[in-house]
Chain A
Amino acid sequence: MQEFDLVIIGGGPAGLAAAVAAKEQGIENLLILERENKLGGILNQCIHNGFGLQVFKEELTGPEYADRFINLVKEKKIRYKTNTMVIDLSKDKLITAVSKTDGILTIQAKAIILAMGCRERPRGALNIPGARCAGIFTAGTAQKFVNIEGMMPGKNLVILGSGDIGLIMARRMTLEGAHVNAVVELMPYSAGLTRNIVQCLDDYEIPLKLSHTVTNIVGKDRLEGVYIAPVDENRKPILAEEEYIPCDTLLLSVGLLPENELSKKASVKLSPITGGAEVDEGRETNVDGIFACGNVLHVHDLVDNVTEESYIAGKAAVKYLKGLRIQSDRIEVKAKDGARYVVPKYINPRNIEKSLDLSFRVKDIYKDHYLSVYFDDSRAIHHKRKIMAPGEMQTVKITSEMLNAHSLCSEISIVIEKE
């Protein structure tokens, strides 16, 4: 059995940033475990640009963004193992992994950072009826075929779901010579970033059909077409207005799920809303010394945000290892009226040096609404925001002054208010 101070599970953007931060804070004995044959995670197949505007103040492609961190990991001589899949994890921080070269690997860690990312919801999660033929892919699988392998999964597409990967793939498939008939979105608004709607759909005249869904899938061996229909206010399809679109491929971009099967094995408590762990301001879970960051914690819009969050987790893990984390009188943070969830769920005020960003998502589109933060019944923040949409993560900063001013408060809540 090997022993490490800190083991980071996942060598994507979250794991890399957490490792860099931990190393910078003075932890030497750390290890990244990555299941793919190289570091970088999903960024490796995100060959489009738009990454890094916040962190590096320049526009990078996914692989370029990953390379910045991979180079840092190498410069800082942080140990990592690729082609290594973690298959078990206990709450005592005992890790079992497997690889071709090491066989079964058991590692005892003093602290762990979970950075396994997320996976795409499959067709079954929506229970879309119809044929079970070839030609139905998640957008991410198609992205891997096209961007990593140079192979086309289809030439005449319909995309269900307007998540960012779906939008990006609408453009990519068009650029590679395919025809995208439409992007179909169940909700009355897109789940993706506005800039992606403009740059990936509008620029290529790809129709975005809001409040529509796929009602049936047709094909014997390979997909021949799909039926789509508008939906009513209860999101039930209006079958009288069903329309048939011949196509050879259906891509699904219908949501991402944090990949927490390992976390469950370690008894990490998960939020039913985000699917990720319930964490405090240092991204520490309910299990002592197990931290989580990136898309395994909650799905982010931008990798830059993942990086920022992972710095926090990396630094907090080091504090934990040095015995400097204070866990007392923590305050619960709640998402109320209009807010769907907020991360972190708990704050230990004495760990806050200057300020703390709360990340949250709203339930619906809110125009000219106020974002308010309450400490119990006392409203400390009341900001008007032009637009808040479910597809764009919001943040709000609370300061140590606010926390000091409400030192006896029992909960902090985020509320979306009309006035």
Chain B
Amino acid sequence: MHDVLIIGAGITGVSIARELSRYDLKVCVLEKEIDIAMGTTKANSAIVHAGFDAKPGTLKAKLNALGNSMFDQLSKDLDFHYRQNGSLVLCFDENDLDHLNQLLQQGEQNGVQGLMILDKAALIEMEPNLSDGAVAALYAPTGGIVCPYEMAFGMAENAYSNGVEFYFENKVLDIKKSNAGFTIKTNKGTYESKLVINAAGVHSDEMNNLVSDSKLSIIPRRGEYCVFDKEVGSYVDKTIFQLPTKLGKGVLVTPTVDGNLLVGPNAVDINDKDDLTTTQSGLDDILRRASLSIKKMPSHAIIASFTGLRARTEADDFIIGEVSDAKGFINAAGIESPGLTCSPVIGIMVKDMVVDMLKPQEKECFNPIRKGISRFTELNDEDRQNLIEANPAYGNVICRCETITEGEILSAIHRPLGAKTIDGIKRRTRAGSGRCQAGFCMTRVLDILSRELQIPRTEVTKFGGESKLLVGKNKEDI
């Protein structure tokens, strides 16, 4: 019997898991996919929002600025990349200046610090590559950028090191209320837990609806993005939003914390929660709309495109709390933007609920520190030399575009909750994230995975399931 069972190893689930790992509790996380951060967490704008966007009074508004303020310390404790680059909301029409001011006031009401309106001259001085169409902007110095899956790995690994169990490829099929709590049936087995936390992302309505008559409905909302080569990664320095108008919410242009440029997303409601396809019309649309913000869209430098699904509810707010007709079942549902920014606070909120219910002891041995993978590119030559002397695998460059060494890949595989797939390696180390998109390193990474996990090469997958890369040996069908 577990004390707490968390469904979902996205950023919400692992943030909650890490907070709970401070306590003397038997906690586990069930994840239907093969790895952490495989849903919405892996495909979003990767923005730490300042907090001016949410309507005052909503949970989103309450948690956003607070969440934002936690990133600096968290990124140090958990060793993930975070940069407070600031954000700008561009206004393209003098008639919309009132809206911009309203946004500023809303932000101040939400507790966002340092907001100011910049006139055109100040704006261009700050961001010389902005389009001439921008007449003014709201500047939020506290806006930031982060790598969402790197952050989730940090949270999850730290939770694991502090005693939380993780079970992957466990898809929850049924949840039954029992005397002592809940019985959770998955495709792999049965789990018992006093409390259940629903952090199932776009599937959180289905989990809720297994136990409650107060039904939820998540409408997956597709957002498409294009990623650009690092050669244009500093085309803008701030995260560039567009002031929402009656024509739509606008798309953003932002540097990523890893040094690429990111453009997107659109917003299209779809039916299929597993549909992560990109569309020609969607990609054309985001590039066209983002062109309003910057002088020249560097379309020649696109290296990848992707789709993420937002867990949108009709309530248009986070749904966090115990379900009234299923005591002990806590929802952390409908976590869409600014869910990534709020995730550390959501972790604390849910932890407080659990502490209230189970009254656990705090652990004396909780260690808040997690050390990430040493990134070869970020070291000076002396440190690189020392690293290679200690472990020659750091002298073997596997991914040429991002200069990722075998040492980093081995660390990604053998660390707590290590990588089991090509994408797992990519998200932990960036091998294959560069301009050639794994054309060079795929065969190498595949060989390393096969060797280290002691599985045949035909069993190595891109991201679990049937996503195998090799189908057999030459000539075996002849």
Q: Which of A's residues lie within 8 Å of B, judged by CB? A: 35, 83, 85, 87, 96, 98-104, 106, 119-120, 122-125, 127, 129-135, 137-138, 140-141, 144-146, 148-155, 176-178, 215-218, 220-222, 248, 261
Contacts and interface: CB of A to CB of B under 8 A. Distances in A.
A353 to B, nearest CB: 38
Contacts of A155: 471-472, 477
A215 B400 CA distance: 30
Contacts of A137: 442
Given A85-B397, A124-B437, A149 B467 contact: no
B388 A103 contact: yes
B474 A134 contact: no
Contacts of A135: 469
B357 interface: no
B468 interface: yes
A106 B474 CA distance: 42
Specify the main secondary structure of chain A where it touches its partner: mixed
A104 B381 contact: yes
B283 A129 contact: yes
Contacts of B400: 35, 85
Given A35-B400, A176-B478, A216-B280, 9 more contacts: A98-B397, A103-B388, A103-B395, A104-B388, A124-B437, A141-B443, A150-B473, A151-B473, A215-B280
Given A35-B397, A134-B462, A100 B388 contact: yes
Interface residues of B, number: 58
Contact of B384 (A104, A140, A153): A104
A122 B229 CA distance: 12
Contacts of B405: 98
A99 B395 contact: yes
Given A35-B397, A145-B470, A152-B472, A122 B274 contact: no
Contacts, number: 151
Interface stretch (B63-71, B111-119, B302-310): B302-310
B120 to A, nearest CB: 31
Interface in B259-316: 274, 276-280, 282-283, 302-306
A153 B397 CA distance: 24
5 contacts: A98-B395, A103-B385, A104-B388, A127-B226, A152-B471
A211 B153 CA distance: 45
B457 interface: yes
B186 interface: no
Given A100-B388, A103-B388, A104-B384, A146 B303 contact: no
A79 to B, nearest CB: 19
Given A85-B400, A102-B395, A127 B302 contact: yes
B356 interface: no
Interface string B431-459: 00001111110110001000000000110
B395 A177 contact: no
A129 B277 CA distance: 7
Nearest to A120: B439
B277 A177 contact: no
Contacts of A220: 274, 465-466
B93 interface: no
A100 B395 contact: yes
A398 B401 CA distance: 39
B403 interface: yes
B396 A124 contact: no
A123 B437 contact: yes
A126 B395 CA distance: 33
Nearest to B406: A100
A154 B403 CA distance: 29
A164 to B, nearest CB: 16
Contacts of B174: none
Most A CB within 10 A of own CB, among B396, B405, B464: B396
Contact of B227 (A123, A124, A149): A124
Contacts of A101: 392, 395
A122 B440 CA distance: 10
B213 interface: no
Contacts of A133: 462, 467
Nearest to B405: A98
Contact of A153 (B392, B437, B470, B475): B470
A242 to B, nearest CB: 11
A120 B466 contact: no
Nearest to B442: A141
A130 B388 CA distance: 41
B389 interface: yes
Contacts of A125: 302-303
Contacts of A178: 477
B476 A177 contact: yes
B381 A222 contact: no
B216 interface: no
Contacts of B84: none
A150 B474 contact: yes
Most A CB within 10 A of own CB, among B226, B403, B471: B471
A218 B277 CA distance: 8
B342 to A, nearest CB: 27
B74 interface: no
Contact of B439 (A98, A138, A177): A138
A125 B147 CA distance: 23
Interface string B394-436: 0111001101010000000000000000000000000000011
Given A151-B458, A177-B478, A124 B465 contact: no
A120 B401 CA distance: 13
B389 to A, nearest CB: 6
Contacts of B469: 134-135, 153
